[in-house]
Amino acid sequence: MKKWKLTASLIALMLILPGACIAYEQITAPAYNENSIVFIEHLNHTRGKLISGDYPRQALEGSIYHYDAGNRSLTGNIGLSDKGSLKALLGVGENMVQDAGYGVSNMIFGVYSTPEKFGDLIVEDIMDNGTIKLNYGGSSIVLAPGERWEKISSEILECPDYRIRMISSDSIRNNGIIPISNIKTI
């Protein structure tokens, strides 16, 4: 009899808990309206492992922003031309580590209308719930708030002076809706 009660309790918990989490997220997530934006990040992380020779390491530097997911706040060198028509912010960043080089470089771009193109990335649509539709390199990507797309690649670069393995992580993340009041320019 006790096993039956335990099993029933576990099944009930498995059915109720996801619904409660969804309801909590709906209550705590900010609404997408004229006082909020969607924050998208396109990041490329490259790490190198020298196999032989002497590789001329590269250095990256550039304006830096910081996103605090817990507080849904964004701080950095953010130049916004018209906050009234702003729909989203796109953070584009790159960093290098190990034998590939060192440093971080990133920028923030405003998305004022859709579709809007940023290199190989096109922000096609932003829905009321914060879901974004993108086209990246000819592939369609749909990301709900909190979702991430990632492609990892590896290649060996060879020349007479060196041989190095480069591993790259190319990712796009939908950080969801953040209030415009949480965007601080430094």
Range of the domain at 12: 1-30
The predicted model scores a pTM of 0.76
Instruction: Give how many domains the chain has, as a whole number.
Output: 2
N-term to C-term CA, the chain: 64
Whether residue 145 is preceded by a cis peptide bond, meaning omega within 30 degrees of 0, is no
71 in the same domain as 10: no
48 in the same domain as 89: yes
37 in the same domain as 16: no
56 in the same domain as 25: no
11 in the same domain as 67: no
36 in the same domain as 25: no
Sheet with 73-76: strands ordered across = 65-68, 73-76, 183-185
> pLDDT by residue for the chain (186 residues), tens digit each?
566 555 555 565 555 655 544 444 443 456 777 788 999 999 999 999 999 998 888 888 877 788 888 888 888 877 666 666 789 999 999 999 998 888 888 888 889 989 999 999 999 999 999 999 999 999 999 999 999 999 999 999 998 999 999 999 999 999 999 988 888 877
88 in the same domain as 25: no
Give the 3-state secondary structure of residue 155: strand
Whether residue 160 is preceded by a cis peptide bond, meaning omega within 30 degrees of 0, is no
139 in the same domain as 129: yes
